[in-house]
Structure 1
Amino acid sequence: MILHFQCWLGTLPTTPLGAAPQALIFVVLWRLRRHNTTKKDLRGRLRRPRTPTGGSGAQPQARIASMDDDESPIPEEESTSVELARLAREAIESQAGEIDMQAARQRCQRVIDLYSSGQIINGLDYFHAAWVMLCGETQGHYYMARVLARLATQHGEERAWSLRAMAWDRWLVATGRPQRFGTQILKQGGRWSLGPVDPAVNDLERAMYGIPPLYVQHQSAEQLQRREER
Structure 2
Amino acid sequence: MLTLNDAGCRPTIGRVVFGLTPDPAASAQLAQIVQADQAARTGNPAQMDWKAVAAQDEARRVQTLALLRSGRLSSARDAFSAALVFQHGDCPAHYQLAHWLAAQALAQGGIREAGWLYGATFDRWQISLGRPQRYGTQFVEVAPCDIQLAPVAAGTTDRDRERLGIPALGLARAPADILSDRCRRGLP
Task: Please report the TM-score for the alignment, with normalisation by the length of structure 2.
Answer: 0.74
Instruction: Rate the CA distance shift 1:104–1:224 in 2: closer, same or farther, 3 A.
Output: closer
Per-residue deviation, 1:141 = 1.5
Distance across 2 between alignment mates of 1:149 and 1:126? 6
Partner in structure 2 of residue 79 of structure 1? 25
Partner in structure 1 of residue 87 of structure 2? 134
Give the letter aligned to residue 104 of structure 2: L
Q: Secondary structure of the residue that 1:79 maps to in structure 2? A: helix
Q: Does 1:98 align with 2:44?
A: no
Q: Does 1:197 align with 2:152?
A: yes
**For the Cα contact (< 8 Å) 1:182–1:214, is it kept in 2?**
yes
Per-residue deviation, 1:227 = 4.5
Partner in structure 2 of residue 225 of structure 1? 180
Q: Does 1:174 align with 2:125?
A: no
Per-residue deviation, 1:154 = 1.7
Q: Secondary structure of the residue that 1:180 maps to in structure 2? A: coil
Q: Report Cα offsets for 1:45-70 as digits up to 9, x if no partner.
A: xxxxxxxxxxxxxxxxxxxxxxxxxx
Task: Please report the TM-score for the alignment, with normalisation by the length of structure 1.
Answer: 0.62
Instruction: Rate the CA distance shift 1:114–1:203 in 2: closer, same or farther, 3 A.
Output: same
**For the Cα contact (< 8 Å) 1:127–1:157, is it kept in 2?**
no
Alignment of 1:100-179 (within 5 A): 100-158=53-111, 159-179=113-133
Distance across 1 between alignment mates of 2:148 and 2:72? 39
Q: Secondary structure of the residue that 2:173 maps to in structure 1? A: helix
CA RMSD of aligned residues (A): 1.8
- Which consecutive unaligned segments of at least 5 residues does structure 2 have? 1-23, 43-47
Distance across 2 between alignment mates of 1:171 and 1:152? 17
Per-residue deviation, 1:110 = 1.8
Distance across 2 between alignment mates of 1:195 and 1:125? 29
Q: Secondary structure of the residue that 2:83 maps to in structure 1? A: helix
Per-residue deviation, 1:188 = 1.5
Report the number of matched residues: 153
Q: Report Cα offsets for 1:25-44 as digits up to 9, x if no partner.
A: xxxxxxxxxxxxxxxxxxxx
